[in-house]
Structure 1
C-alpha cells in the first residue's frame, strides 16, 4: 500500500495556501468580479413607466413650441417619425391611449384632428415650474458639491453640467440664473486657446476665505450622515459600520459563503473621502488600490445622492470619469456592487442605461421624496390612468374657450402656462433629446 511521505503533507498545505481560491477569499478584501446581473422588477417597472413619460415629453415639447399650444395630429406624427424614429400611426395611438394628458379634437375650421394639452397636464407644468424655483437654493448647493467631487481641479465642463441639469434640478438658463448670478460660489472659465469650443468652457468652484464651516458641510457625504444616525441610535454597537455602506441585494441574488466573507471584509475597509484630493498619494500599493476602489463606490454613491430622483444614466456618469476618478469599465464595476446600485437597461430602447441608488427607493418610490420629484411624478400618474376614466365632457371644449393659456399668439404656449418667470425648463431638452449628443462629450 502507498504511504504518504512526511515531506508531502507540509508541501500540500503550502499549495493550498497559495491557491487562487484561498487567496482571493481569505486574504483579499475585494468583492469578486464578473458577477451576473440579477434583475429587480421593482426598478425595471419604474423605467417601463418612464418610457411613456419620455414619449409624452417629446410630443409635449412640440405642442409648447407653438403659440397656440396645439398642432394637427398628422403634423405631430410627422415630426415624431422624423426626429424620434417613431413608427407610422404610433403617435395617434399614443394620444388616444392617454386622454388625461392629450386632448384630441376636431378643428372648427379646417375639419382636421388637432391635439393640445389637457388642463391637468397644464397644471402639472405649473407645479413643476413652481417646484423648480422654490428648490433653486438647494440646486445651487448640489452644483457646488458636484464641483467639489472633482477634488484635484474643482472644475467641470459646462457642457457636461448642461447635460445633467435635469438630474440636478437646475433650470435651463442655469448659466445665467445660477453660475453668473452667484459669483461668490462659481466662476466661468473659458480657454483662451479654443474660446468658441463649448468643451473648452468650465465652471469652477470659488472658495471664499472664512467659509470653513460651509466647506466642511459641503464635503460631508450622504453616507456619512446615515452612519451618524446609526451611531446615535446604536451607540458603540455601530462601530463596525464606520466604513460600511447600506447593502440590499436584489431578490434572487445568490450569496455564497465566500462572497459573504468578502463583503464583510470590504465593508470594514477604510477609504479616502470622495471630496479628498488623492493626487499626492502613492497609489501603487495593494492597500492603496483597495482603498481607491472603495472610494470609487463612495463617489458614485455621492453623485447619485446629489440628483433629484437618485438615479442617472450610466452614459452621463461616464462624462465625469476623468474629472472625479471613476473606473474605465464602469458597467462591470457597477455590476460588482449590485447591493448598492441597480443597473437597468429598460426604458430607453437599449440606447441608455439607468443607474439607481438602491437605498433611496422602496417599492418603486423615493424613500424621501422632494417637491420637484413629486411634481414630475404627476405626469407619470396621468399617463398610467385608464383612458376609460377620462372625463371627456370636461375636456371637450372649443378651440378658443377654456384654454386661454394657449390662445395668445404673441408668445409661446409654455410662457403662458407657467408665467413670465417660470421659463426654467425646456421640455424639448428634458425629453431625452440630449441622448444623441452625450457620446460626443464622454471623456
Structure 2
C-alpha cells in the first residue's frame, strides 16, 4: 500500500506539471503548489520527493534563467499517452458502466460533479460530459437541479439486460464449473478473509446464515417496501454490501476511495458509517488507510485481486501499471541510462568528425 501512496502523490505532481505552460515548473514554486494541493510536505520536501523518481521526473537547469525546472521524462509522457489511448478505446464500455451506475440510483439520476470527481476510477475520459453523456442522448440526459445549480445525469430508460450484477455472473460460474448447489450460491458472495483472521465456530455459522439471506438487487426499486421489520433491515444491510460490491466492480481497477463512495451514499441508500460497515465485511472488502497520514481510505474488492495483481486486467489498468513500474524502478538505473545516452551521443559526434 506504500506504493499506492507514492503513486497518488506522483500522479498529483504529474497533473500539476501538465497544467503549467510548456509542461514545466520551476522547482522554487513546488513548496507553494504542494501546500495548495494538500500533499502534506514540509518545506523543501517536494523537490527531494521528485528526485526519488528520476524515471518519471527530470530536473534540469533552464538555459537562460539559470534556475532549476522540472518536467516529465519521455517514459512518463509515453505512459500518459498509452493511458489516454486506452481510455478512448474503451468508451463503449465506459458508457455501459455509467448507465449501470446511474441505474443504481434510487432516483434514476446522479450528480454530475460526483461522477466527475470519480472519473478516473470509472475509466471516463476527461471530456466525458460530451463524449459519453451528450453523444449518447438515447441513454442519458443532463438536467439542472430543482433547488441547486448542480447538474444531474439522468438515465433515459432502464435496460433490464444491464440489471445483472457482477456477483451474479460469479455465482453462475461457481454453479456451472464447480457443481455447487444452486441454492447454496443463490445469495452468496465470494469471501476471502485476510491472513491471520480467526474464524470461530459461531462466527462460521453466522457467515453461513448470512450467505443464504435473500436481499434486494442494487438495481431494484425498494421505495415501495416496508423496511421496518428486523428481516427487512437485514436484507437492506446485505443489499448495501451488494451495492458497494457492484460499485467496485464498475471501476477499472476494482478499487475506489471511501470518500468517493460516500458521494453516492444517499442515492444508493448506503449506511452513514461506511468505514465501520465495510470493516464488518472484511472477507469481501479490504480498506487501506495509509494514504495522506491515515486520512485517505481506499476500498478494494478482494476477489478482484490475487497476489496484488488484478485478476482480470484491462488496457487502462495495464497503462497505469506502467506508471507504478516507473515509480519502482531504481534511481541507479536512471543514472546508467543517462550515461548510455551521453555515450551514444559522443559516438555520434565522433562519426560526424570523421
Could you state the TM-score of these two structures normalised by the residue count of structure 1? 0.73
Which residue is equivalent to 2:256? Answer: 312
What's 1:144 paired with?
Answer: 99
| Contact map agreement 2:218 2:242 (CA 8 A) in 1 | yes
Aligned partners of 1:58, 1:286: CA distance in 2, in Å?
46
| Secondary structure, counterpart of 2:198 in structure 1 | coil
Local SS of the residue matching 1:353: strand
* 1:283-362 equivalences in 2 (<5 Å): 283-362=227-306
Q: Does 1:134 align with 2:84?
A: no
Matches within 5 A, 1:161-200: 161-194=115-148, 197-198=149-150
Query: Within the alignment, does 1:274 sit opposite 2:218 as a pair?
Result: yes
1:158 match: 112
Higher relative CO (CA 8 A, sep ≥ 6), structure 1 or 2?
1
Given that 1:81 and 1:88 are in contact with CA atoms closer than 8 Å, whether structure 2 keeps it comes out as no
Deviation at 1:386, TM superposition (A): 0.8
Write the distance in 2 (CA, Å) between the matches of 1:76 and 1:225: 48
1:73 matched to which residue of 2? 27
With over 3 angstroms needed to count, the CA separation of the structure-2 counterparts of 1:339 and 1:83, relative to structure 1, is: closer
**Match 1:90 to one of 36, 39, 45:** 45
Provide the C-alpha distance between the structure 2 equivalents of 1:51 and 1:70, rounded to a whole number of angstroms: 23
Instruction: Within 5 Å, give how 1:8-23 maps onto structure 2.
Output: none
Greater displacement, 266-275 / 344-353: 344-353
Give the match for residue 351 of structure 2.
none
Whether contact under 8 Å (2:287, 2:298) holds in the other structure is yes
1:263 matched to 2:218? The reply is no
Aligned-pair distance for 1:237?
Answer: 3.3
CA distance in 2, matches of 1:77, 1:284: 54
> Structure 1 residue 53: deviation in Å?
1.4
The CA deviation string for residues 123-177 of structure 1, in whole angstroms up to 9 with x for no partner, is: 0010011001001111110000001111x32111111111111111111221111
Once structures 1 and 2 are overlaid, which stretch shifts more, 69-78 or 333-342?
A: 69-78
Shift in Å, 1:219: 0.3
Name the CA distance, whole Å, in 1 between partners of 2:169 and 2:157. Answer: 23
Distance in 2, Cα, partners of 1:181 & 1:88: 46
Aligned to 1:160, the other structure's residue is in SS state: helix
TM-align CA RMSD: 1.8
What is the rounded CA distance, in whole Å, between the counterparts of 1:159 and 1:392 in structure 2? 43
Is the radius of gyration larger for structure 1 or structure 2?
1
- 1:68 counterpart SS class: helix
Counterpart CA distance in 1 for 2:313 and 2:279 is 26
Q: Given the alignment, which residue of 384, 387, 392 partners 2:338?
A: 392
TM-score by length of 2: 0.91
For residues 267-297 of structure 1, what are the alpha-carbon distances to aligned partners after superposition, in whole Å with 9 as ceiling and x for unaligned? 1111111111111111122222221111111
> 1:268 and 1:59, CA in 2 relative to 1: closer, same or farther beyond 3 A?
same
CA distance in 1, matches of 2:208, 2:313: 31
Give per-residue Cα distances to partners, 1:327-378, cap 9 Å, x unaligned.
Answer: 1121111111110011220123222211111000111111111110111111
CA distance in 2 between partners of 1:384 and 1:362 (Å): 20
Residue 378 of structure 1, aligned match among 314, 317, 322: 322
Contact 2:167 2:189 in 1 (8 A): yes
Instruction: Provide the rounded CA distance (Å) in 2 between the counterparts of 1:295 and 1:57.
Output: 34
Distance between the aligned counterparts of 2:32 and 2:226, measured in 1? 58
2:161 corresponds to 1:206: no
1:88 Cα offset (Å):
1.6
Cα contact 1:73–1:92 (8 A) shared by 2: yes
- SS of residue in 1 equivalent to 2:22: coil
Unaligned runs of 5+ in 1: 1-44, 209-214, 398-443
Report the equivalent of 2:346: none
Gaps of 5+ in 2: 344-354
Change (3 A) 1:144 1:244: same
Preserved CA contact (<8 Å) 2:174 2:180 = no
Equivalence for 1:227: 171
1:52 aligns to 2:2 (yes or no): no
